[in-house]
Amino acid sequence: MKSNTKRKRLLVDSVADRVEQLLVQMTMSEKIGQLSQLQGGSGVDQDILKEAIAAGQVSSLLNEVDLDTVNELQRVAVEKSRLGIPLLIARDVIHGFETVFPIPLGQAASFNPEVVKSGARVAALEAASKGINWTFAPMIDVSRDPRWGRIAESLGEDPYLTSVLGNAMIDGFQGDDLADAGSIAACAKHFAGYGASEAGIDYNTTNIPENELRNVHLRPFKAASEAGVATFMSSFGDLNGVPATASKFLHTQVLRDEWHYDGFVVSDWESISQLSIHGLTANDKESAYEAAAAGIDMEMTSTTYRDHLPDLIEDGLINESEIDGKVRAVLALKIKLGLFENPYTDSKDYEQISNPEYMQEAKSAALESLVLLKNENQSLPLSVSDKKSLAIIGPMADAPYEQLGTWIFDGEQKISQTPLQAIEHLITDDVDIHYLKAMDTTRSRDDGSISQAVELGKKSDVIILFLGEESILSGEAHSRADIDLPGNQVELIKAMSKLGKPVIAVILAGRPLTLSNIVDDVDALLYAWHPGTMGGPAIAEVLFGLESPSGKTPVTFPKVVGQIPIYYGKKNTGKPATDESCVHIDEIDAKAEQTSFGMTAFHLDAGYKPLFEFGYGLSYSEFNYSDLHVNTNSLTIGNSLRASVKLSNIGSCRATEIVQLYVRDLVGNVTRPVKELKGFKRITLDAGESTVVSFDIHTDDLAFYNREMKLVTEAGDFHLWIGGSSATELRTEFSVTKP
Ligand code: GLC
């Protein structure tokens, strides 16, 4: 251990020493140049860009993915600029590069950090082979509003799941050492509170009380900071009246003073110059001041720093030591990445992009992302050799680009394998397939296609519908106010359900959709999110029983959009609803008076429960939980308890269950959620097999920010559940006592 510590210390000294050796040589203009990220790529005048790089005015390029161009521009930086400081080459490598993995929301459904980490690793290796050394991921904004298009890019509604999987993504991107070939710097974004944009409208205002901000939205960022994420990115949003990009509370008080974070913060795209559009500043000079003073180190694509920091320093509003601090963090990352020793990339140093191993990783991730929401009348699994005819209908059955999802500028649709292709490949000749796209897009309202589909259904034994949303209907700036299946997909489902044949619906979408209007019309419902390059084989293998589905919902599925926000980790309120306290709008007595029923927290026309709760998902087998117990019912602060449960596979096939542990702090200095996820494990059992699943919970795991914004664990009584979803009722208790 001693030698490791010594070596680590030397490394840190060498980085710090090398930073100082550079800094002392730099002019103020060169220092400000290190705080500027410009756009690269085909639309940019390369001569002007090279001039700026040679003049030491560019620290990083965004969106240049041609390797020869990247090496050429690195050469200008290294050989033409006075100090030869290499460039950070950045790209949004969010869920894959050419080999595309499920959207992060789909990956979150796996509840599997290893799958998430390996996906990030493959993405890093493919991106690094193109000279990219910095990705703008993971996006760890807690997202509880499926109207918001960027929920697709998130890891769901739960702070703990987002923290664990966000850190796994950081590990995958950054590897054991940033200087290793294939390691790229990660970026925790968007700091902070972006997922709470009002009405689910992207870029919209966010008003989050500090206590809620700290207990929910900041937790994954604190975890990322502790995990050593190389960079942070500020959010676009107006957070409590101060746009996040100008928030000293976030970028100085929390990130630096409380968390002692030592990486650097990049703004979002022109988010500094947007401060005047927000109405926080009157012009770019004021915007540059507000962002620099708040703690934004590097400016993305706008040029307020380049244009105005010299004057702000001259005016004494920003001092040189603040600029030096920003430059140190940027130079330190470039040194840790090994860019001074290895500024150029040779693709021969990397595996072939989209090689079979990478494709297999993408398939494994897609398999574990699939969530079986309904399976009645043993509709699934199908058999590959049943002498049956299959009707495969819908706009998402053979959509190689659309199944990749959002943020896939580098996704290669030519290698994307669709469900139709995979099913055709999988089944035997005895099975007839009748395929019909049925509608141009998921938004089409062409009723003629429904009659064609009905005719196809009539001559088939089983109907499989591939429906949902195209890639463009989620992602940045693509929010929806109505999250039903678009177009006349609902009408299609209802028409097919009248044929008296088994109807299986496979939904490919970038968000939870509201499915109450069709859930009773289908026999089986498989949620595939946007499953990426290998989504087709994964879906086919689950449909035909080669694999049992294991995914669980990482986000709540509302019955109707009017329930939003609806999430499992809610507060109890003073008048919590129960099944007994709710009355449905259609059952209200004609003579009902004001206090004749209800008087608890629910909607007359939707009740208080979602359609599918967080953590829900079926498999082809059945699991039983029993013998839940804790090794102590009284836990002294500073210690741990062990909670255990017996898990039995009482079904007919080998399957995987995601066992989840939740706690509730019954009384707190601030009110606490009715349930909080504090542990999960994927357990695979053969039919008839049982095992004991245990979790260790330390009192630190129970800590929350109190009214004084102090992170505390309080003595008191707790409930503890272990089960297969957040609705589990298998519960025990324990108390926390003061030492
Ligand atoms: C975008 C996004 C951010 C992304 C950046 C660079 O506007 O908000 O997530 O990393 O610009 O593309």
Give 254-294 pLDDT, tens digit per residue. Answer: 999 999 999 999 999 999 999 999 999 999 999 999 999 99
Q: Is 269 near ligand 1, meaning CB less than 6 Å away?
A: yes
> Over 50: is that where the pLDDT of 2 sits?
no
CB 118 within 8 A of CB 172: yes
| Nearest protein Cα to ligand 1, atom 8 | 268
Q: Name the residue of 95, 265, 476, 478 to mutate for ligand 1: max ligand atoms within 8 A of Cβ.
A: 476
Specify the 3-state DSSP secondary structure of 450: helix
The answer to whether residue 585 scores a pLDDT higher than 60 is yes
Q: Which helix (H) or strand (E) holds 645?
A: strand 640-649
Q: Give the atom of ligand 1 at the shortest distance from the alpha carbon of 190.
A: 9
Question: How far does the centroid of ligand 1 lie from the alpha carbon of residue 189, in Å?
Answer: 9
The residues that are catalytic are 268
CATH node for 363-543? 3.40.50.1700
- The domain limits of the chain are 15-349, 363-543, 623-737
Q: Residue 97: CB within 6 Å of ligand 1?
A: no
Cα separation, 722 vs 625, whole angstroms: 8
Q: Is the CB of 92 under 6 A from ligand 1?
A: yes
Query: What pLDDT shows up at residue 277?
Result: 98
Report which of 737, 642, 647, 617 is spatially closest to residue 697, judged by C-alpha positions: 642
The atom of ligand 1 lying closest to the CA of 63 is: 12
β strands within 167-255, DSSP E: 187-191, 231-234, 238-239, 242-243
524-527 and 371-375: which strand pairing? antiparallel
Ligand 1 centroid to residue 267 C-alpha, Å: 9
pLDDT of the residue at 11: 55
pLDDT band at residue 593 under the 50/70/90 scheme: confident
Residue 5's identity, in one-letter code, is: T
Q: Token match 């609902």: residue?
A: 490
Asked whether 202 lines ligand 1 (CB < 6 A), one says: no
Atom of ligand 1 nearest to the CA of 269: 11
- Ligand 1 atom closest to the CA of 136, numbered from 1: 10
How far does the centroid of ligand 1 lie from the alpha carbon of residue 269, in Å?
Answer: 6
Strand partners, 90: 62, 134
Residue 42 neighbours by CB under 8 Å, 6+ apart: none
Q: Token pair for residue 87?
A: 């460039």
Considering only CA atoms, which residue is closest to atom 10 of ligand 1? 136
Query: Identical fold at 15-349 and 623-737?
Result: no
Pocket of ligand 1 contains residue 189 by CB under 6 Å: yes
Question: Beta strands 299-300 and 640-649: pairing type?
Answer: unpaired
Residue 137 alpha carbon to ligand 1 centre in Å: 10
Phi-psi region of 117 (alpha: psi -120 to 50; beta: other; left: phi over 0): alpha
Cis peptide before 565 (omega within 30 of 0): yes
- What does the CA dihedral 223, 224, 228, 229 come to, rounded to 10 degrees? 180
Task: Work out whether the CA dihedral 647, 652, 657, 663 comes out positive or negative.
Answer: negative
Q: Which of 63, 94, 135, 136 is the best mutation target for the ligand 1 pocket, counting ligand atoms within 8 Å of the beta carbon and taking the most?
A: 136
Each residue's pLDDT tens digit, 610-621? 999 999 999 999
Q: Assign domain 15-349 to its CATH superfamily.
A: Glycoside hydrolase, family 3, N-terminal domain (3.20.20.300)
Q: Contact 609/590 with Cβ under 8 angstroms? A: no
Contact assessment for residue 265 and residue 255, using Cβ atoms and an 8 Å cutoff? yes
Percent of the chain with pLDDT strictly greater than 70: 98
Query: DSSP labels for 458-472?
Result: HT-SEEEEEEE--GG
Give the right CATH number for 623-737 from 3.90.1150.10, 3.60.20.10, 2.60.40.10, 3.20.20.70.
Answer: 2.60.40.10
- Atom 12, ligand 1: residue with shortest CA distance: 92
Mutate to test the pocket of ligand 1, among 194, 268, 299, 479 (most ligand atoms within 8 A of CB): 268
Question: pLDDT band at residue 42, thresholds of 50, 70 and 90?
Answer: confident
Residues 130 and 67 sit within 8 Å (Cβ to Cβ): yes
Q: How far apart are CA 673 and CA 668, in angstroms?
A: 10
**Is any ligand 1 atom within 6 A of the Cβ of residue 268?**
yes
pTM here?
0.97
